Amino acid sequence: MKTDTDCTMTEQHWDPDRYSRNARFVADLGVGVVDLLKPQPGERILDLGCGDGALTRKLVDLGCEVVGVDASTEQIAAAKRCGLDARVKDCQALGFDHEFDAVFSNAALHWMKDADAVLDGVKRALRPGGRFVAEMGAVGCVLKIRTALEQALARRGIDGAARNPWYFPPAEEYARRLENHGFTIDYILLFDRPTDLPGAVTSWLETFAEPYTSALPANERATFCQEVEKALQPQLCQPDGHWVADYVRLRFAAKLKPDG
């Protein structure tokens, strides 16, 4: 079986138009994280993994001074077109120095596999007593989808597990990381959140699963996605024909200790 010593891992690329069509639910479902943040007018907030800026805009509209950062040049360009202060930045190497009242993140932390580097940057970015409020994928998230992807790649002699781009931690593990970085946890919850998709699961795969599909030549990817969809249909396609993804989320609010 080929592993990633035999082929080069390909990063996930983000097409803002495709993302808007297939994944607008991500920002819509993130409104609850904004509520948990309780942003106050005049606060300076870092939106970590801001994407195209849909939630960044909500924070700005609430009177906050917001900086959005994301590794995707395409998503940052889309956020800038909306008039946002958005910057291309590796979120695992932030480099801000004690300038934010809060760090906010929705559906992005699980794309950053070096969790300790992220937390180092968040800690340094916050002022003493600052807040870190986020939601991310957690252990078990899209397990059925991942399994179908890996099995389809295995049938082609490719190690699909080695191409998994996500960090989906248990609540206890992430809580321990937060505490080790000087945070006090005010709230943490792991929960199942079956998520309605706007179309078939193939659209989800085209939007989010490039690290898997890029293992194949471009002319084989559509057939591969159709094969994965067929495997998932009995599990995720509802009797009325709409698809529901097996999401599991971790939502938390933590505060940096004054001496953290």
What is the per-residue pLDDT across 173-229, written as a single tens digit (0 to 9) for each?
999 999 999 999 999 999 999 999 989 999 999 989 999 999 999 999 999 999 999
Query: How much is the pLDDT for 3?
Result: 37
pLDDT average, residue stretch 27-46: 88
The rounded distance, in Å, linking the Cα atoms of 157 and 116 is 33
pLDDT band at 31 (very low <50, low <70, confident <90, very high): confident
pLDDT band at 30 (very low <50, low <70, confident <90, very high): low
Query: How much is the pLDDT for 259?
Result: 75
Helix %, strand %, coil % for the chain, to 5?
40, 25, 35
CB-based contact 250:192 (threshold 8 Å): no
SS3 195: strand
- Which position has the higher pLDDT, 6 or 100? 100
Give one DSSP letter per residue of 200-244, joined into a string: -HHHHHHHH-HHHHTTS-GGGHHHHHHHHHHHHHHHHB-TTS-BE
Radius of gyration in angstroms for the set of CA atoms belonging to the chain, rounded to a whole number? 19
Nearest to 149 by CA among 75, 231, 29: 231
* CA 218 to each of CA 210, 221, 228: distance values in angstroms, whole numbers, following the listed order: 11, 6, 16
Tell whether the model's pLDDT for residue 16 goes beyond 70: no
By the 10 Å C-beta count (0-12 exposed, 13-18 middle, 19+ buried), 83 is classed as exposed
Residue-averaged pLDDT of the chain: 91
The rounded distance, in Å, linking the Cα atoms of 100 and 96 is 9
CB-based contact 54:31 (threshold 8 Å): no
With both helix axes pointing from N to C terminus, report the angle between 201-208 and 143-154 in degrees, rounded to the nearest 10. 80
Q: Six-digit token pair at 121?
A: 């940057």
For the chain, give the number of residues.
260
Of the listed ranges 4-8, 144-148, 161-165, the least confidently predicted one is 4-8
By the 10 Å C-beta count (0-12 exposed, 13-18 middle, 19+ buried), 187 is classed as exposed
pLDDT average, residue stretch 150-162: 97
